[in-house]
Amino acid sequence: MRINRKKFIYLISPLKINKSFYSDLNKVLKQKKVSFFQLRQKKESFKKKLIIGKKIKKICKKFNVKFLINDDVYLTKKLNADGCHLGQKDMNILEARKLIGNKIIGITCHNSIKLAKAAIKNKADYLAFGAFNISRTKRVKYKASINLLKKARKITKTPIVAIGGINFNNYQKLLLNKANFLAISGYIWNNKKLKPVKAIEKLK
């Protein structure tokens, strides 16, 4: 997986996708700072996610952004997305590989080097650690530290995605400590002060 230093954002969809979302996504991806876009819809039906996914896939393709699906390997296969993200309670990575072959598979490792080592052994394409900060998108069960990033860096060259409450005030610290990508959602989509395109413009 090639890493482009300028494209350090791993963008996650808002919890609810409304009419204005698609034009906002166009404007945000146009900034050329996003490497991945993850569709994360916990409450929608498979059918609805399929409709949403097809629209997003077109926009991602236009801007050369990898389109990933959260949790759902079957949806990944059906949409022919670029890959999927698996949590510890989702399908096993080896099973997922059988279904989607050589596509990108990222694994949630919370704050555990042990989970990271297992993911590396199973040839995960990236490791996701977090939460590094309090997040409004997801309840924080596991707290990760900068120290954990340093430890992970010593054992692997696998790309690292930092997750959890990342915004303009704290993003640089994670990049300086060797996180390759920053998973961002709330700061872009639920920002009370800035529109999505203005919010992403601030992340340089």
Domain boundaries, the chain: 9-201
CATH topology of domain 9-201: TIM Barrel (3.20.20)
Task: Tell me the H-state helices in 87-182.
Answer: 93-100, 113-121, 146-155, 171-176
Instruction: Kindly give the confidence (pLDDT) of every residue in the chain, 204 residues in length, as a single tens digit, with 9 standing for 90 and above.
Output: 777 778 999 999 998 999 899 999 999 999 999 999 999 999 999 999 999 999 999 999 999 999 999 999 999 999 999 999 999 999 999 999 999 999 999 999 999 999 999 999 999 999 999 999 987 767 778 899 999 999 999 999 999 999 999 999 999 999 999 999 999 999 999 999 999 999 999 999
**Contact criterion met (CB below 8 Å) for 24 and 196:** yes
Q: What distance in Å separates the CA atoms of residue 83 and residue 75, rounded to the nearest whole number?
A: 10
What pTM does this model have? 0.96
Torsion from C-alpha of 105, 108, 114, 116, nearest 10 degrees:
40
